[in-house]
Structure 1
Amino acid sequence: MERIINAGKSGTVSRRTFLKLSGAAGITLAVAGLAGCSSGSSDSGSGEGTSAAQADVDFSNWDAVLEAARGQEVSWYGWGGDDMRNAWIEGTLAPQLKEKYDVTLNLVGMDINDILTQLSGEMQANPNANGTIDFVWINGENFASVKKNGYVWGPFVDYLPNYNDYVDGTSTDITIDFGNPTEGFEAPYGKAQMVFWVDGATVKDVPKNPDEFLEFCKAHPGQVSYPEPGDFTGTAFISCLIAGVIGKQEFEKLASINDATKDEVKAIIEPGLAYLRDLAPYLWKEGSTYPADSTTCSQMYADGELIFNMGYGDPQTDVDQGILPETTKAFVFESGTVGNTNFMAIPANAPHKAAALVAINEVISPELQLDQYVQLRQMSVLDMDKLPDDVKAGFDAVELGGSEVPLAEKLDVRVAEACGQVIPLIEDLWHEEVAGA
């Protein structure tokens, strides 16, 4: 299945590779969007790619969905390279679906390009026939492009009891996917967010905002840098700094304007660009050059050439594996760090839509969102204020490693990432206004 970028993992991940693969911290998978019937319609499953049996299901009636799903096999497609996540899906989610609902879950790990080729091939060959993909892990520009082609079914999220009860359906984390309106065609799966770290054995005080980060770099000249924007991590990091300078509310304008011009983006982020220019002389090589990617940054940090590093997610896994020292201290800026959400969608020609709804609803149940946080440290998509007291207490009681930032602390400073169409403009402006200055 799709994975969120693990902060401590080595590996070159450009923004475009991230959007192809995953997102949080993701990496981003995809498949996606046919405008189906509106929420609450009794024949909402009767569109293209729907069998006669599915056309008879009133998807707004959850008891009818459960009955239709009973005995079905449902295929979940996505990136298959995360062994821990695969083990959780096959060892926890699948048995629960079988025991509670008599739904058999088949996990299908495939490269995103192969998934998209399979979906588009099936839809183009016969849009009225059932396909092979029941639901898919998805988000980002992939979702936007395939949604335009009419390859997903929905809107469907209002059919899901757990969505209605526990998700804040008005949050931009849920309604906007890299600048693209989800419009009920995606259900949230997990969140990812930028985290920073240093070796606490040598660095005692960590910066809490861009101003303190500038002073931190002045105190350690040449020992701090970040990946060149264009690399996903580098772009996300400068986004954190820009957001801290111009303010969360101002930066989050960039999460919802996907038709902005470069001049419009520059007008919003110019104070942040000025800050980055002021920062550059105190960075590695005095800002004359930057590490090419997050892999290079990680190696420089491991070699002691840099004293600061960053990524999407906590570095605890690398600490546990001995890649980083046990004294690694993770933190976020009080002024905010950017994050994104990854989603699940149902193709228009999904053969088992009822079972897909049941499976997706179970993934976002309070019980399994908590279990994913315990087992995988995946940030929950649920609104903590809507959770039952015992589940909320369960999140609070999770014992974290010494190199993890508490969930509540991350959520308190979370900033929505700029939309996919704006990100290249931010990168271009950085190259012109900062690297080229």
Structure 2
Amino acid sequence: MLNKINFACLILTISILIAGCGVQQEQAEEDISLNLLETNWETILKEAKDQTVNFHMWGGDDRYNRYIDEFIAPRLKEETGVTLNRVAITDTKDVINKLQNEKSVNKKDGTVDIIWINGENFKLAKDNGLLWGSFASQLPNVRQYVDINAPDIQYDFGEHTEGMEVPWGKAQFVFIYDEAKITQPPKSIKELGEWIKQNPGKFTYPAPPDFTGSAFIRQALYETTGGYEQYLNAANEEELDFIPLWDYLNEIEPNLWRGGETYPESLAKLDQLYSNGEVWMTMAYDPGKASSQIEKGVFPETTRTFVLEGGTLSNTHYLSIPFNAEHQAGAMVAINYLLSPEAQFAKMDPVHWGEGMSLDPSKLSNEDREQLHLLDLGKATLPADELAKYKVPEIPANYVKWLEEGWFEHVAKR
């Protein structure tokens, strides 16, 4: 009997030790994760080597995909030993939903290491504890090249980033047109409405919640309701008067493509209509897109861009690391490289992407500034100073949902 008791005690002791080791291992893993936010960069580089980082990003543009696969990934691997695996997604909200589900079941070994994010999705992720932590200041290229106190970087659609995301690029809304068919593009939303009436069937916009279609509605909101300043602070939906916007969109609807009976379901569909000559304008939240599409032979050589003199939307988009990313060190190293002058200059090239960089030009070396000056941004890309002249900020993220739901209720169903 004594031997049986001793044996049982031995089994119990072993079980307790195993359980204790499990707790210690789990605690050690948490300590490593937390220490990455405090340790030196050399340690992070060592931890990151040989890691494979899953980068979840919108995959709807071949340029963006090639930029990551053919330019970034090979150089990142060669310089740091980190493998970057691009995971194409159609909607960032799908990733947010995935992270919420993983959070609810306490899943700690997530498959999302980096997420391309901004605006409403960032606020949702931040509010629900889906992001890892304040890692931005740990990245050497952020400290050296980014003006982290600039309002358009510090705030994402009105939400303070708190270092939980790193600015990857800057975008501005532009209209794209064929100067062989339009000699004098409109200068305001009001003039655009008049142009649509004079040229029935030659204009439309993607149906929200398509990102660009939603941006067009926000663009029209500012001018039809008295400017952007009133929207800089979050408000209750009941306090807002969107009626002038709905009136404007309903007024132009009968003269849209196909009489406004249907809208392109995506920007890609609208671009196709433009390429085929069915409509004479398209649009983009990307000042360099037209030049890139000309270069690829998709858009006519006579394609150009214009902005509205009352101001056009601009924003910064970001990269973040989820709370349960399995390869946090590798994610930090990959993001740091994506903010290097080499990577950012290549991204500005219309062949790769053609958008504004997130780096502060005044923080660049003389050599880098000279290289920046020599970049050929393409024949259809407006000069940076002209774009900056008409730049206006985005509204807080909570407005986006209200506007998209309101468009469906007051325009699409009408």
TM-score, normalised to structure 2, is 0.75
Partner Cα distance (2:105, 2:411) in 1:
49
Q: Distance in 1 between matches of 2:148 and 2:243?
A: 32
Q: Give runs of aligned pairs for residues 136-285 of structure 1, distance below 5 A.
A: 136-210=115-189, 212-213=191-192, 216-217=195-196, 220-222=198-200, 225-227=203-205, 230-232=208-210, 233-244=212-223, 250-257=227-234, 259-262=235-238, 264-266=239-241, 276=248, 280=251, 284=255
Q: 1:414 aligns with which of 391, 395, 403?
A: 391
Contact conserved, 1:252 with 1:417, CA < 8 A, in 2?
no
**Is 1:75 equivalent to 2:84 in the alignment?**
no
Per-residue CA deviation, residues 333-376 of structure 1 (Å, 9 max, x unaligned), is 23221133322111222233222212111111222111111222
Distance 1:431 1:72 in 2: 44
Partner SS, residue 329 of structure 1: strand
Pair 404,285 (structure 1): closer, same or farther in 2 beyond 3 Å = closer
The residue identity in structure 2 corresponding to 1:311 is A
Distance, in Å, in 1 between the alignment partners of 2:244 and 2:93 is: 39
Q: Which residue pairs with 1:331 in the alignment?
A: 306
Using the alignment, how far apart are the partners of 1:47 and 1:379 within structure 2? 42
Distance in structure 1 (CA, Å) of the matches to 2:313 and 2:297: 27
Letter in structure 2 aligned against 1:261: E
Which AA in structure 1 matches 2:236? A
Q: 1:32 — aligned with what?
A: none
Tell me the distance in 2 between the aligned counterparts of 1:183 and 1:50.
Answer: 24
Of the three residues 336, 342, 345, the one matched with 1:361 is 336
Q: Distance in 2 between matches of 1:430 and 1:390?
A: 49
Matches of 2:270 and 2:48, distance apart in 1:
48
Report the AA paired with residue 293 of structure 1.
Answer: P
CA RMSD of aligned residues (A): 3.9
CA apart distance, 1:382 = 1.9
Answer whether contact 2:254 2:260 (CA < 8 A) is retained: no
1:311 and 2:289 matched: no
Distance across 2 between alignment mates of 1:331 and 1:234:
17
How many residues align? The count is: 382
Tell me what 1:293 maps to: 264
Matched-pair contact (CA < 8 Å) for 2:202–2:257: no
Gaps of 5+ in 2: 1-24
Distance 1:179 1:359, change over 3 A: same
Whole-angstrom CA distance in 1 between matches of 2:58 and 2:407? 31
1:380 alignment partner, one of 343, 354, 357: 357
Change (3 A) 1:241 1:56: closer
Query: TM-score if structure 1 supplies the norm length?
Result: 0.72
Name the amino acid aligned to 2:285. Answer: Y
- Give the SS at the match of 1:376: coil
1:390–1:413 CA distance, 2 compared to 1 (3 A): farther
Mapped partners of 1:55, 1:231: distance in 2: 37
Amino acid at match of 2:301: E
The verdict on how the C-alpha distance between 1:354 and 1:256 changes in structure 2, with shifts beyond 3 A counting, is: farther
Cα distance in 1 for partners of 2:163, 2:243 equals: 34
